[in-house]
Amino acid sequence: MDNELHFWTIIDIEETSLPELKRLEYLLNELQQEPLNEDKLSINTDALIRILDTLSKNSYSLLKTIDRGKRKLLIDCISNRWFPLRKILKRILPLSTWQILHDHAQTFFKLCTFNFDLKPLKFAKQALKYKDMPIKLELDLIHLIDNMREKHPHILDDILKDEYEEIKSHHRENIVITVLGSTKASKSSFINFILENNICPTGNQAATARLTRIIYGEKIRLTVCGNEPEFYLFDIQ
């Protein structure tokens, strides 16, 4: 199939919608031609690195709208031409050049196969679920000890005393995520993305001038820190 269809037709887009795909297809075909002189190989390799880098950085919005199955077909088609070249290029290219080329290719492959239907921080929600699992077990243990002591107050008064007190007095800490970065490093955009809500201000100029604390509960509470803290509440969508 990959010999009959162009890369862009596999994902049902116009050739002009993602012109780098046409350049990628041309270069992979060119690199498969034998022999390649050293100068031409160097030029084509540099061009391939730039194209893969551009695809990874600029095609996110478009690829997100394309069915994942079609994106996987695209990667299969590209791989059929790319994988035979890998061993050759790894052998003849300088190690640093090969590593850059390999990394850019892997980034683009991951982007094409990524499941965009996954919710942001789904892994974190799962981690919180596992974190809270011991709470029920601890409550069950406390209830069991209380029942045993109630039935046998003199014999079992000291059973698991240390463990009992530890569980009763233990306060679980909340998970705190800190986002740090230089001015205009997309900190606010990142926070808005993982919260799936426009909580922090964004713009072309510096938008978040003060330390900001966000607390997640029945509502999201945002605290802008300073001499006179400001508080804002947001409904969870």
Give 195-219 pLDDT, tens digit per residue.
777 777 776 666 666 677 777 667 7
Measure the CA–CA gap between 233 and 199, rounded to whole angstroms: 10
Q: What's at 134, amino acid-wise?
A: P
Considering the domain boundaries, does residue 178 fall inside one? no
pLDDT in tens, 22-41: 999 999 988 887 666 778 88
Residues 43 and 108 in one domain: yes
**What is the C-alpha separation between 168 and 143, in angstroms, rounded?**
11
- Distance between first and last Cα of the chain: 44
* Closest C-alpha among 43, 44, 3 to residue 24: 44
In three-state secondary structure terms, 233 is: strand
- Residue 22 and residue 47 share a domain: yes
Q: Could you list the residue range(s) of the whole structural domain that residue 152 is in?
A: 122-169
User: Is the same domain home to 52 and 89?
Assistant: yes
Amino acid found at 123 = F
Residue 84: what pLDDT?
A: 86
* 29 within some domain: yes
d(CA 27, CA 141): 66
pLDDT at 187: 83
Question: What does the pLDDT read at residue 122?
Answer: 67
The confidence score (pLDDT) of residue 121 equals: 64
The answer to whether the beta carbons of residues 220 and 199 sit under 8 Å apart is yes
Please tell me whether residues 85 and 146 are part of one structural domain.
no
79 and 47 within one domain: yes
Of 78, 113, 148, the one marking the end of a domain is: 113
- Quote the number of domains for the chain: 3
Helix (H, G, I), strand (E, B) or coil at 214: strand
Burial class of residue 141 in the structure, from the number of CB atoms within 10 Å of its CB (0-12 exposed, 13-18 middle, 19+ buried): middle
Sign of CA dihedral 28, 32, 36, 42: positive
Q: What is the CA radius of gyration of the chain?
A: 28
User: Beta-strand (E) ranges in the chain?
Assistant: 212-216, 219-224, 230-235
208 within domain boundaries: yes
Position 134 scores a pLDDT of: 77
Q: Letter for the amino acid at 169?
A: S
For residues 105 and 134, membership in a common domain is answered with no
**Which residues share a beta bridge with 233?**
221
List the chain residues with pLDDT less than 70.
1-4, 34-36, 119-125, 128, 156-157, 159, 170-175, 203-210, 216-217, 235-237
Which residues does 194 contact at the CB level (< 8 Å), separation at least 6? 120, 121
Nearest to 108 by CA among 61, 145, 55: 55
Q: Are residues 22 and 108 in the same domain?
A: yes
Residue 30, token pair as written in the block: 């060119």
Residue 219 lies in a domain: yes
CA separation for the pair 77, 1 (Å, rounded): 8
- Same domain, residue pair 93 and 132: no
- Give yes or no: residues 49 and 129 share one domain: no
Both 221 and 127 in a single domain? no
Question: What's the confidence (pLDDT) of residue 1?
Answer: 42
